[in-house]
Amino acid sequence: MDIAGGLLFAISSTAIMIAAVLAIFKSRRRGAKRLAFASIAGMIVGITLIAVGTGEDVTSAGFKSRSDMTAAKQEGIERGEEWYAFAAAREAEEAEAAATLLRDEEEAREAAAAAAEAARIEEEAVAAAAALAEAEAARAEAETCRSDSVCWGRENRINAEVRCKRHIERLARFDHEWTNNWLEPMFSRSSWKNQEEGVLIYYGDRLRMQNAFGAWANVIYSCEYDPARDAAIEVKTEQGRL
């Protein structure tokens, strides 16, 4: 049917060109007009027959639409059932490829997250090991210092000055005066009172006391200090210099 339609369309097209030529002549214009109308009608019928014939070709070949048949021919496929099987297989492959891509992306994200977590754990472990080593070094240093009277005395001198000073001042019967400046420590020496318990004796001579006659005398003072209790145990004074 599409062949007949094509033939009718070609004949009608030729007839329209003939009508156009005849329209040039005044005596033939009426006939040319009728010929043109008839040709146009023939073209319409031809197009209709072509369309119907094409539709029959699409259906007889097993396709659902002309576009499906065109796409099938581009792939070298002539039958609809083959085309739809091919299209379904290709769609399944594309779906599988998309699913594989999604799985790969998810696995990559999980691997990245696992690597980040492992790095965090390792970093925390390194930091914990460093902190432990630092604490162990500080403990060892403290133990070493605890066994040396000079280091232990230096470590606790400021606390001893705070705790001992007011007790030393109370031994003055009259007025007293400290002779050290604010940068100079009040204790210049220290020794063990009880090494096992860590108790120290601090000594200094930066103090003057006044007697009943108003005379001033330099004083040596000492203070037993217990770092464990942060307390002054006993203080003493006597005239003189260290």
Map residue 50 onto helix, strand or coil: helix
Provide the residue-wise pLDDT of the chain in tens; the chain has 242 residues.
545 645 656 776 686 677 666 667 766 667 666 766 676 776 675 566 555 444 457 888 888 888 888 888 888 988 888 888 888 889 899 999 999 999 999 999 999 999 999 999 999 999 999 999 999 888 888 889 999 999 999 999 999 999 999 999 999 999 999 999 888 999 999 999 999 999 999 999 999 999 999 999 999 999 999 999 999 999 999 999 99
Phi, psi values for residue 140, rounded to 5°: -65, -40
Whole-model pTM?
0.49
The neighbour count for residue 225, using CB atoms within 10 Å, is 29
Phi, psi values for residue 67, rounded to 5°: -65, -35
